[in-house]
Amino acid sequence: MSEYPPKTLGILGGGQLGRMSAMAAAKLGMRVHIFCPEENSPASMVSEKTYVAKYNDKEALKEFAQSVDTITYEFENIPVETVQFLQKFKPVWPDDKLLEIAQHRVKEKQFLNDIGIKTARWSFANSPQDVLNILKEWNVSSVILKTCRFGYDGKGQAKYNAKDNIDIVWNSLKSEEIIIEEIIDFACEISVIVARDKIGQTACYPPVLNEHKNHILHKTTAPAPIPENMIMEAKKITEILADAVDLVGVLALELFVTKDGKILANEIAPRTHNSGHWTMDACICNQFEQHVRTVTGMTIGYPTRHSNAQMINLIGNDVKKLEKYHEMQNASVHLYGKQEIKENRKMGHVNIINPDKNLVK
Ligand SMILES: Nc1ncnc2c1ncn2[C@@H]1O[C@H](COP(=O)(O)OP(=O)(O)O)[C@@H](O)[C@H]1O
Ligand SMILES: [Mg+2]
């Protein structure tokens, strides 16, 4: 199913995920309008039009909605009310149900458990005493505390050890809604990206191995070097989730592989994901194209992987050291156009294709 002329896609959010989605939309002949609060965002640099306004500016939202055929979002902290308001005018995919789950760690873990997907043991806390009670109940000496909302790249979380002062740790999180999690001594971290279209067809990329530095994704290896049965299980879990939320679009599921071979779900991203950037150079249809295709009502693309890949994030000053990648025959550099370099800021990434093979010139 594909219409001609192609549609105009509206994207809420102006970051690099929006930028790469806009570029995928352009490949399919579409126009893109961005809505975000910042001027000169990475996504607006490659799009036809940008509405610069706050997410609660109803006049601007209405104007934006009227200028596009379909709307999506590129990050999960768009207010649910914004999406619900826009739904009065144009379809928004993925819908508000998935967004609401992914915005709140307790709703997320509860939803995963309700559909039979295992996670680390968790509990809700709204006071320091709740944390102390859980330590006793679980008979453990340390746990991880995370704010229920707005956490990313390890922000909004802290390890609590029974020897620490609970009030200091609690206050450092600056939130009254906390999830307490058992600390998983994992063997590795993996993630799976799935796309699903309006008629329920799914396309799943293989699980990938993720390595972090300072809580920020540093390197992704695709596919993850894990046994075939785990690959199947990780994909199955992600597809169960996509069906359960009736996904239209792309989502990523972050998972832990425990030392005794179990797979536990950690976090849902209701969007394209940093661990899927390798698909841009190693698959026929990459995660961004899948996102655009599914939210605009096109049929899903083949996720065919023609190469193995390693993705390395360019964080902060890494972006000044590109020579070594430009000299490699199998490295493909992607930059996001961010004007200012900041510590821990994602400036771009490099995909190294078939890192284990000798290349033909
Ligand atoms: N329960 C846990 N046990 C062990 N490590 C954890 C746990 N939860 C999170 N982590 C570590 O912290 C990282 C960030 O946590 P995550 O829940 O994914 O939040 P975010 O990515 O939004 O910052 C994970 O990738 C993992 O390395
Ligand atoms: Mg995470």
DSSP label at residue 68: -
CA 301 – ligand 2 centroid, Å: 26
User: Does 260 share its domain with 331?
Assistant: yes
Domain boundary among 181, 203, 218: 181
Instruction: Identify the residues whose C-beta falls under 6 Å from ligand 1.
Output: 120, 144, 151-154, 181, 183-184, 189, 212, 215, 254, 266-267
Ligand 1 pocket, mutate which of 173, 191, 266 (most atoms under 8 A from CB): 266
CA 217 – ligand 1 centroid, Å: 11
CA 154 – ligand 1 centroid, Å: 7
If one counts every other C-beta atom within 10 angstroms of the C-beta of residue 343, the result is: 8
102 part of a folded domain? no
Determine which residue's CA is closest to atom 2 belonging to ligand 1: 183
296 part of a folded domain? yes
If one counts every other C-beta atom within 10 angstroms of the C-beta of residue 251, the result is: 24
User: Does 138 share its domain with 208?
Assistant: no
User: Does 156 share its domain with 231?
Assistant: no
114 part of a folded domain? no
User: Does 315 share its domain with 238?
Assistant: yes
Number of domains in the chain: 3
Residues near ion ligand 2 (CB < 5 Å) are 254, 267
CA 254 – ligand 2 centroid, Å: 6
Indicate which ligand has the atom closest to the C-alpha of 264: 1
Q: Are strands 70-73 and 8-12 parallel, antiparallel or unpaired?
A: parallel
Query: Which amino acid is it at 137?
Result: E
User: Does 345 share its domain with 198?
Assistant: yes
50 part of a folded domain? yes
Domain region containing 55: 8-92
312 part of a folded domain? yes
What pLDDT sits at residue 360? 54
- Helix and strand totals (H; E) in the chain: 11, 17
User: Does 177 share its domain with 212?
Assistant: no
User: Does 249 share its domain with 349?
Assistant: yes
Question: Collapsing DSSP states into helix, strand and coil, what is residue 32?
Answer: strand
User: Does 171 share its domain with 28?
Assistant: no
User: Does 208 share its domain with 335?
Assistant: yes
CA 167 – ligand 1 centroid, Å: 22
255 part of a folded domain? yes
CATH of the domain at 28: 3.40.50.20
CATH of the domain at 212: 3.30.470.20
User: Does 157 share its domain with 217?
Assistant: no
Indicate which ligand has the atom closest to the C-alpha of 75: 1
User: Does 63 share its domain with 76?
Assistant: yes
User: Does 135 share its domain with 18?
Assistant: no
Cα–Cα distances in Å, from 314 out to 213, 249, 335, 345?
Answer: 12, 26, 8, 8
Q: pLDDT 10s digit of each residue in the chain, 361 long?
A: 567 878 999 999 999 999 999 999 999 999 999 999 999 999 999 999 999 999 999 999 999 999 999 999 999 999 999 999 999 999 999 999 999 999 999 999 999 999 999 999 999 999 999 999 999 999 999 999 999 999 888 899 999 999 999 999 999 999 999 999 999 999 999 999 999 999 999 999 999 999 999 999 999 999 999 999 999 999 999 999 999 999 999 999 999 999 999 999 999 999 999 999 999 999 999 999 999 999 999 999 999 999 999 999 999 999 999 999 999 999 999 999 999 999 999 999 999 999 987 655 5
Ligand 1 pocket, mutate which of 109, 118, 157 (most atoms under 8 A from CB): 157
CA 27 – ligand 1 centroid, Å: 35
